[in-house]
Structure 1
């Protein structure tokens, strides 16, 4: 999707509109870089990288560039030019990690995702060591220590924890991100498609009443009903029946058939889990809607 130049990043946006590009330039002493896609995948990063505390200029190029603008969920990251909405400044500030931006068509209101990586620089002079080792190790340590404070197993007391959707929305957003992190995966989508196309099934026996003339297969149960069932009709004019001693037969008999059913324990469990996910997201949505500081979180529910 992108090409890299020593002085700027040039994004080929033909998937958005034919001939449209986005260029990002570093300001003054600021820097940017791109890395090999294989290396980016190894470290779970975007190949196209900016640096924390640095600032950049951006501009769309193309015949219809006036229709497009760049947006961020967090105010202050993207500063659109007052004169031309197709250009402006990027300022990641102290935010570090994957930066999700949107390319918005102001005419159709359609938006397209754009992912960049903001690299931490303050932990080590070597950029990769600063971000991939020191910064991420710090996040892991914070997570481990904070979890341990609440959930210590070597104390004489235990803690009972319940979800409170009236509490701090930042905590709710963290839970929402955790659930969203695996609901948005290809593996989850493929698993759901496989369940839909090939669900757990079992065969159930179903008993129905049919006309005697509709009998296709004679077994012991059918034979018994032909001899002893009530509500009989005369068939003395049918030689093939009188030859076996049947001058009359019942007008209807009870027949059993095999019916395929998806009402299994496995499918009911999957339905329950998906219902829990749905209820959780709807509860998050209700909180995000009334919290003006989390408008971006409400929009995030509908991405992809």
Structure 2
């Protein structure tokens, strides 16, 4: 782990771009970008198209390190190249943007009002490759739908257990227990989640640092205590299905919480836009998310 990257993520102004749609969500991401399913006939072609989309975003002058601190990549993106460099190297060397990798294998079936992550038997191997590819940190997502104590505890236990494995490999984990924005008892879920996370943070040793990725809370500044915790490098927020404008408005109300948006970043981009139009739309999104993050 590079100290300069650590300091940048901890202290600099900006936000983290989430470019990590995976197999399941890729067709949706492509469709939103104006590429229909008949444009590809297999997974390989699909991933080529999505890599073209991500390359266009990353190489755009609007994808600017003045506003963007880090970018979360999908495994295939990590192993792909941009202008002859592996994506993480391109981000770090050409852009000064810190690379992260999505490491989870998706969600298990719902149980106790939550979805924990599917098992990750190949995680050690993936972390080894992530180190070779100069990745700084990782991201993994679980989902909470109901204020069920047993379920929420299972989510946070699993996240921190895997998080420690990631720390041991020399990377910084982004722990992401998303609370579903449509949960009828969202605020109650968030109170329980916060208590559970605090418990785990207080048990980390001084050389164990994590990041957190949370749904923007119903009650403003719910997570302030987590943001100020000495073991927390940074707390970022997902857009969670809110539109860019709504997500930005909600984010602004929370002190010290910065964005890590995916859909909100790319929702107005289209494959048929000219470079000028594409860069202008991306710049608008980047600017608005940055403003909300600071």
Q: Same fold (TM over 0.5)?
A: no
Higher relative contact order (CA 8 A, sep 6+): 2
Q: Which has the higher strand share?
A: 1
Which band: TM-score by shorter chain? under 0.3
Computing the radius of gyration from Cα coordinates, the structure with the larger value is: 1
Normalized per residue, the structure richer in helix is 2
TM-score by length of 1: 0.24
